[in-house]
Each structure stands twice: as C-alpha cells, then as structure tokens.
Amino acid sequence: MKSDDKNEEFKAIGIVSKPLKDKNISVLNALIKWLEEKGKKVFLDKDTASFAENFKGTVCRKSDLPNHVELIIVLGGDGTFLSVARIVIKKNIPILGVNLGSLGFLTETPLDNMYNSLDAVFTGQYKTDQRLMLRAHVHRQGERIAEYTALNDIVINKGAIARIITMSTYVDHKFVTTYRADGLIISSPTGSTAYSLAAGGPIIYPDLDVIVVSPICPHSLGNRSIVIPASCSIEITLESQTEDVFLTLDGQVGFTLRANDVVEIKKADTTIKLIQNLDRNYFEILRTKLGWGDS
C-alpha cells in the first residue's frame, strides 16, 4: 500500500538507535547537529540519549516518542525498526530506517545516503509504503488476557525441551486443520521474508493485502504454508498439555501460553508508514539480501 502524502512539515524529529559503539556514535551526534542546524526539534529515547554528546533536546521513553514527533529516524537494523513500528501504529508517524550495517528489508536506506534521503523528505520528494500490521488477542477461559501488535509475524512455538505441539486452527470460524508441529507462524507480507521464509513460506510482495500461515517443522509433510485474505480472522487453540509454549511478536516480545488458550489474529485497524529509499526497489533488496544471481 503506497502513499504520496507530503503535507507534513516534520518540525519535530525523533531518533531511535540500536546500541552504538565506535564510529556509529559520531554518526548519531552528527545527525543531531545536522537536524538542529535545519531548525528541527530533536527528541531521543533514553537509550539513544546515552550515546549523545551534550544533547540539549528532549529525552523521553521510547514509547512516548510518538506523542512528541512527526517523523522517526531509526539508526540500526531491522530489529530496531520492528521495535519502533509497534509503538507508532496508533499515530501513523512515518519512519525512515537507516541501516548501520548491511542492507535491511526495513532499514533500507544506506548510511551514505542518509542526508540525501532526509533532504528529499524535508522538501517533499519522497514516497511511503503503508505496511499491514497484525494484532493478536489471547483468550483464556473465555476472557481476553493479552493483546499485542506486530509488523513481521506472530509465532506460536515450543520451548527447547517441549515435544511437538498440537494446535487446532480456524479461518473465519471454518476449521482448517489441526497442526502437529514445532510451531505456527502467522506472517504479514512484510514478514514473509523473515521467519516465515525460513520455514518454507512464500515471499509476498509487501503491497498485497494477505496473511501467510506457515507451520514450523510439521509432523505431516502435507502441511504447507497457506495464503489467505487479510480480511480473515485466524483462531488457534493450543491443545497440548504443556507450559513450554510461547507466543512471540516479531521475535522480540513473548507471552507464555497454556493448554486451551485461544490466540485470535487479525489485520490491525491501522498501518505503519515506511519512507521508501528511492534509490532502491524491492526486487533489488531481495536480490541483495537473498543472494539471487550469485555464482
């Protein structure tokens, strides 16, 4: 889902960085100075601020950043980006991901193109992708006990010592199958190139309005990934009598499941806005990350 909304003035800029060391600390400080020289108000989360030198702007909790800023710059990798995506979903604040290492699927702007990209953003010469997010509700004995949002995937998986787990799965209240597997991945198009791909799932173009269901090491070879419309609701009931099963969100947030817990997963009501790198397209990123064409 693409958008070309360029009405934002972007006067207040948030920066979230992965833990920094060596030269990347100078990258952060140079960026802060550059933004301030352009008259922007800079906001840092507490962890990022610990690397900033003589910072006189506003420091707040990461979860509070969306209440103060109009744009967030992520310095790091896709993991850092995912942590930011979950906190901006209700504010629809655009995110520019700058990769401090190798090219990322989400932090797709290389460091050497950061300032050019920001200049383009501040002059309205940019495009955005509206990325589908997933929302999960956990029900226990008929009561909703937890709610989470994820950009990449929502995963039910067993712990290191648990046996194969059993999960009955429904789509729009229609029975699909009872999976016996190491786990189950519910992926957005954005997350189709992450854990889902490693489990044998398909690569989904990020604009498509679909959800992928992929079993992890299924007991039956006939259990394969399926792609369903994002308008569908997925219900998964954990049938295994074990306490070593977890619900994880984007591989970063976890919740322990019990037998007979029901996980309901739907497309979230809102999306996140990712600023595109105009110098690279999606297929170029795929070729680079997946090594297509390498001898």
Which residues are part of the catalytic machinery? Answer: 78
Opening angle at CA 189, ends 185 and 191, nearest 5: 50
Residue type, position 7, single letter: N
Residue type, position 90, single letter: K
| CA neighbor of 48 nearest in space, from 69, 19, 22 | 19
Cα(261)–Cα(257) distance, integer angstroms = 6
Cβ atoms of 179 and 169 closer than 8 Å: yes
Residue type, position 253, single letter: V
| DSSP output for 162-212 | ---EEEEEEETTEEEEEEEESEEEEE-TGGGGTHHHHTTPPP--TTS-EEE
Backbone angles phi, psi at 155, to 5 degrees: -125, 135
Cα(204)–Cα(64) distance, integer angstroms = 32
Q: Where are the alpha helices (DSSP H) in 42-142?
A: 46-49, 78-88, 114-122
Cα(179)–Cα(214) distance, integer angstroms = 10
What burial class does residue 56 get, using C-beta atoms within 10 Å of its C-beta: 0-12 exposed, 13-18 middle, 19+ buried? exposed
Cα(52)–Cα(58) distance, integer angstroms = 12
